[in-house]
Amino acid sequence: MDWKTFQALLSGVNKYSTAFGRVWLSVVFVFRVMVYVVAAERVWGDEQKDFDCNTKQPGCANVCYDFFFPISHIRLWALQLIFVTCPSFMVVMHVAYRDDRERKYKAKHGDTAKLYNNTGKKHGGLWWTYLISLFVKTGIEVSFLYILHRVYDSFYLPRLVKCEVSPCPNQVDCYIGHPTEKKVFTYFMVGASALCIVLNICEIIYLISKRIARCANKIKRRNRNLTCCHYYMRISVICSFIEV
């Protein structure tokens, strides 16, 4: 996988993100993508080759490996990183759609005409797109953590597994290569994923609370304007009576 191209695509998301979104993007690249590319891929390497069973029965080691490792950690994390960053492209595509509408509007009404004050500002439909992308990202993170938890029994990697799956002649002992190192990387990646979930939740709360505060200020200003209008109307009525 070309992670440099992946990073270049996501770097455009940064300018449309909030402070929480920028921290999330930094965590994804520094603590997940970089660790995945530099270290995790090398630690796992050829997993099946490092899975050693104390039997020479043909097919036994392959069947036992498939039984205990139905999904490779490294491939599951690659899928997780791809899926969890895809919702961010929704925001980029929405901004591109706004830019296209703005260009067509200016071509029709002149360069001084404006359809949007700022195409990248999170108002209207773009705010909803951004919020939905956060919910989708959080759901994907939680789903992948649940899959990893269910498949690997609370993210635990034992040194030794006992296998009785056919065609093994009896119970055989199978040993996992680099179990401690793999366990450390598993906990690290799970922790980074949990941190990303927390950041997404914080950003959701921030966006919603900011929207509520803005709506409350609008209502206050509207009520203040109505009060002023009523006050001036009463004064004008009193003045008209006085003149009469």
CB atoms within 10 A of CB 22: 14
CA distances from 211 to 130, 147, 153, 157, 199 (A): 13, 34, 41, 45, 18
For 72-86, the pLDDT digits (tens) are 888 888 889 889 888
What's the confidence (pLDDT) of residue 193?
93
| 186 in a structural domain | yes
Count of the separate structural domains present in the chain: 1
Q: Is 141 a residue whose pLDDT tops 90?
A: yes
| 56 in a structural domain | yes
| 122 in a structural domain | yes
| 29 in a structural domain | yes
User: DSSP E strands: which ranges in the chain?
Assistant: 52-53, 160-163, 172-175
Alpha carbons 45 and 10: distance in angstroms, whole number: 27
Average pLDDT over residues 40-58: 77
Secondary structure (3-state) at 52:
strand
Q: Which range of residues forms the domain containing residue 158? A: 3-214
Task: Give one word for 178, left, alpha or beta, with left for phi > 0 and alpha for psi -120 to 50.
Answer: left
What's the confidence (pLDDT) of residue 139?
94
What's the confidence (pLDDT) of residue 237?
47
What's the confidence (pLDDT) of residue 234?
58
What's the confidence (pLDDT) of residue 239?
52
Check residues 240 and 23 and name the one with the higher pLDDT: 23
Q: Is 230 a residue whose pLDDT tops 60?
A: no
Average pLDDT over residues 210-238: 69
Q: Which of 157, 141, 151 is nearest to 190 (CA)?
A: 141
Average pLDDT over residues 189-195: 92
175: β partners: 52, 160
CB atoms within 10 A of CB 145: 17
What's the confidence (pLDDT) of residue 198?
95
- What's the predicted TM-score (pTM) here? 0.80
Alpha carbons 109 and 218: distance in angstroms, whole number: 31
Q: Is 1 a residue whose pLDDT tops 60?
A: no
User: Alpha carbon 206 to chain centroid distance?
Assistant: 16
- What CATH number is attached to the domain comprising 43? 1.20.1440.80
Average pLDDT over residues 90-111: 81
Average pLDDT over residues 135-141: 94
As given in the structure block, the two tokens for residue 155 are 């993210």
| 52 in a structural domain | yes
| 227 in a structural domain | no
| 219 in a structural domain | no
| 37 in a structural domain | yes
